[in-house]
């Protein structure tokens, strides 16, 4: 299982649970149930060094020559519930960024294992113990880990005028708080997509969503219209499936529940565009267009798509970034499976897109912050290098069975994400307030009127956001 899929699965398992606060209890888990205490230690994974073809090795070496600087301390320490730097299993090769780090700096990444539930409490333990953990991958660490003092600004270790950092400066500014940068954003990666089975589309007499997209007609209104016609009082048909339907659909409005502007958190629950997005969620669920996962042990039923009983499934590209004999079991025959971007909001001024952010956090008390900064540059360089991009495309075709058509659509989703990325950061609020926002914006999915739900919670959420801004200001004094 790829690290992206592992991370997404852990996210899915925690959707209805309270997020663990930075420095929170390691023993209280989802829904307040007690979790068995787990021991976390450093681990080492043996890597096959022959991960690239000879010509690819030469390309990586050439790219390494474009990087600058040296490292006296060559080891950086990584803490996470997954380990993307030491991949194992069929088709999982060492990332180009790691190849660069090793070739240019003689770098080494030491991984410390944790769990989703224990990641913040383990980090707190390591910081207090002076272990010198350097970085961790919590996109929801801002601002709560700034407030708790578990992360530090990486501004002293990067040169924002260099071409590499300039290329991601605007993206990093999206998450700057209190005038400083705490979330090391290396790329806005492809957001979630809409999967469909072309055989089902054809049998329904629908236009292919790819053609609708190419003609500028792939909108939320069209999306809803197709779902209505597909379900149409047929108990054997399920319209929309997936763990992550709501977020990419409401972010198409371009307005998240909570954002950052001028270094401060902003409450957007009263924004007209956000209201419109929440009303759309309400209407989807009121009309029975979303699969009721409570009927299926709270699990998506992707196999329904291959059986022709499901019209759309929203998920990440990791769903089909695996051996084709695995993903075709769910989605259907390879020639029938395809995906398109999440539909455009008809009333939005731009084609906003839910952004997955490849980002990292520099730990308080990091033993080698310079090493982390140089590794971040390796990651950024690997994303922009044409040879590295081609290596990735070759992998998708040879290992995952992708077609050129799929690769072209993947590039199109990446383009949309890069041009107008939008991401909700309410998960980075202190836990109680993050849970309150989550509960509030999920109410329309339960068939509850958005306006009454919003009005009941607005003042409390606004208080929490203002309090978080005050705590950040106090921490930075």
Q: Give the tens place of pLDDT for each residue, 357-381.
A: 899 999 999 999 999 999 999 999 8
Same domain membership, residue 213 and residue 110: no
Residue 56's pLDDT band, with cuts at 50, 70 and 90, is low
Instruction: Judge if pTM exceeds 0.95.
Output: no
Which has the minimum average pLDDT: 7-11, 216-220, 256-260, 401-405?
7-11
Query: Is 332 part of any domain?
Result: yes
Instruction: Report how far residue 269's alpha carbon sits from residue 266's, in angstroms, rounded to the nearest whole number.
Output: 9
pLDDT at 25: 30
Q: Are 185 and 179 in contact (CB under 8 A)?
A: no
CATH code of the domain containing 302: 3.40.190.10
Tokens of 147: 């407030």
∠ CA 191-192-194, rounded to 5°: 140
Cis, bond preceding 413 (omega within 30 deg of 0): no
End of a domain among 334, 354, 374? 354
Residue 330's pLDDT band, with cuts at 50, 70 and 90, is confident
In percent, the amount of the chain with pLDDT more than 70 equals 86
- How far are the Cα atoms of 73, 264, 433, 460 from residue 452, in angstroms, in the given order? 56, 27, 19, 14
Q: Is the pLDDT of residue 450 over 70?
A: yes
Q: Is the pLDDT of residue 54 over 50?
A: yes
Residue 387's pLDDT band, with cuts at 50, 70 and 90, is confident
Split into its structural domains, the chain has a count of 2
Residue 184: CB partners within 8 Å, gap ≥ 6? 135, 154, 172, 359, 360, 361, 362, 372, 376
Same domain membership, residue 346 and residue 363: no
pLDDT at 298: 86
Q: 404: domain range?
A: 19-187+358-408
Same domain membership, residue 306 and residue 382: no
Residue 188: CB partners within 8 Å, gap ≥ 6? 171, 355, 356, 357, 358, 417, 418, 421
Q: Give the tens place of pLDDT for each residue, 69-116.
A: 899 999 999 999 999 998 775 555 678 899 899 999 999 999 999 998
∠ CA 67-71-77, rounded to 5°: 105
Q: Give the tens place of pLDDT for each residue, 277-303.
A: 999 999 999 999 999 888 898 899 999
Same domain membership, residue 320 and residue 404: no
Question: How much is the average pLDDT of 304-314?
Answer: 94
Same domain membership, residue 298 and residue 199: yes
Provide the b/e sequence for 320-348 (b: ≥16 CB within 10 Å).
Answer: bbbeeeebbebbbebebbbbbbbbbbeeb
Q: Give the tens place of pLDDT for each residue, 182-217.
A: 999 999 888 899 999 999 999 999 999 999 999 999
Q: Are 350 and 420 in contact (CB under 8 A)?
A: yes
Q: Are 306 and 331 in contact (CB under 8 A)?
A: yes
Instruction: Report how far residue 435's alpha carbon sits from residue 147's, in angstroms, rounded to the nearest whole number.
Output: 17
Q: Is the pLDDT of residue 37 over 50?
A: no
- How far are the Cα atoms of 44, 56, 146 from residue 52, in angstroms, in the given order? 21, 6, 39
Other CB atoms closer than 10 Å to residue 436's CB: what's the count?
Answer: 16
Same domain membership, residue 201 and residue 166: no
pLDDT at 89: 59
Q: What is the largest CA-CA distance in the chain?
A: 67
End of a domain among 329, 354, 379? 354
pLDDT at 244: 85
Q: Are 246 and 445 in contact (CB under 8 A)?
A: yes
End of a domain among 309, 332, 354? 354
pLDDT at 67: 86
Same domain membership, residue 100 and residue 43: yes
Q: Is the pLDDT of residue 24 over 90?
A: no
Q: Are 96 and 103 in contact (CB under 8 A)?
A: no
Query: Is 429 part of any domain?
Result: no
Q: Is the pLDDT of residue 17 over 70?
A: no
pLDDT at 202: 96
Beta strands in 296-367 (DSSP E): 310-315, 337-341, 353-354, 356-362
417, 265, 284: which is closest to 350 by C-alpha? 417
67, 61, 83: which is closest to 378 by C-alpha? 67
Query: Is 8 part of any domain?
Result: no
pLDDT at 92: 59
Residue 413's pLDDT band, with cuts at 50, 70 and 90, is very high
Q: Is the pLDDT of residue 5 over 70?
A: no
Same domain membership, residue 152 and residue 23: yes
Same domain membership, residue 79 and residue 36: yes
pLDDT at 44: 30
Same domain membership, residue 328 and residue 241: yes
Within 184-243, where are the H helices?
Answer: 198-204, 209-214, 220-231
Same domain membership, residue 154 and residue 82: yes
Query: Is 472 part of any domain?
Result: no
Beta strands in 368-422 (DSSP E): 421-422
């Amino acid at each position: 299982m790829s690290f992206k899929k592992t991370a997404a699965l852990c996210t899915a398992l925690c959707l209805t649970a309270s997020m663990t606060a930075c420095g929170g209890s390691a023993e209280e888990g989802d829904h307040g149930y007690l979790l068995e205490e787990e021991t976390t230690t450093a681990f080492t994974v043996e890597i096959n060094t022959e991960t690239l073809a000879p010509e690819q090795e030469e390309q990586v070496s050439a790219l390494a020559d474009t990087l600058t600087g040296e490292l006296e301390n060559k080891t950086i320490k990584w803490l996470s519930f997954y380990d993307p730097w030491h991949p194992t299993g069929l088709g999982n090769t060492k990332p180009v960024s790691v190849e660069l780090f090793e070739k240019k700096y003689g770098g080494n990444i030491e991984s410390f294992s944790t769990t989703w539930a224990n990641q913040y409490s383990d980090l707190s333990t390591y910081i207090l113990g002076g272990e010198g953990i350097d970085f961790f991958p919590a996109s929801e660490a801002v601002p709560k880990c700034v407030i708790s003092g578990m992360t530090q600004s990486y501004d002293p270790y990067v040169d924002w005028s260099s071409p590499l950092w300039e290329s991601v400066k605007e993206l990093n500014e999206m998450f700057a708080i209190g005038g400083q940068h705490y979330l090391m954003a290396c790329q806005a990666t492809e957001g979630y997509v809409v999967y469909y089975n072309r055989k089902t589309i054809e049998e329904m007499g629908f236009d292919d969503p790819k053609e609708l997209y190419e003609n500028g007609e792939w909108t939320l209104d069209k999306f809803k219209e197709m779902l209505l016609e597909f379900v149409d009082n047929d108990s054997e048909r399920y319209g929309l499936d997936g763990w992550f339907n709501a977020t990419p659909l409401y972010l198409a409005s371009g307005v998240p529940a909570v954002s950052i502007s001028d270094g401060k958190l902003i409450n957007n629950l009263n924004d007209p565009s956000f209201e419109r997005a929440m009303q759309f969620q309400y209407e989807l669920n009121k009309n029975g267009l979303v699969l009721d996962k409570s009927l299926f042990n709270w699990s998506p039923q992707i196999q329904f798509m291959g059986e022709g009983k499901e019209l759309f499934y929203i998920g990440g590209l990791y769903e089909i970034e695996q051996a084709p004999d695995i993903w075709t079991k769910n989605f259907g025959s390879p020639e029938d499976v395809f995906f398109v971007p999440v539909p455009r909001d008809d009333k939005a001024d731009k084609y906003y897109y839910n952004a997955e952010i490849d980002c990292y956090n520099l730990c308080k008390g990091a033993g080698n912050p310079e090493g982390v900064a140089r590794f971040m540059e390796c990651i950024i360089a690997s994303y922009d290098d044409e040879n590295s991009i081609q290596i990735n495309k070759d992998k998708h075709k040879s290992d995952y069975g992708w077609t050129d058509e799929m690769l072209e659509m993947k590039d199109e989703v990446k383009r949309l994400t890069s041009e107008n990325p939008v991401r909700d950061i309410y998960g980075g609020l202190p836990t109680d307030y993050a849970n309150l926002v989550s509960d509030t914006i999920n109410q329309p999915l339960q068939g509850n009127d958005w306006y009454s739900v919003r009005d009941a919670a607005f003042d409390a959420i606004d208080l929490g956001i203002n309090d978080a801004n005050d705590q950040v200001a106090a921490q930075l004094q």
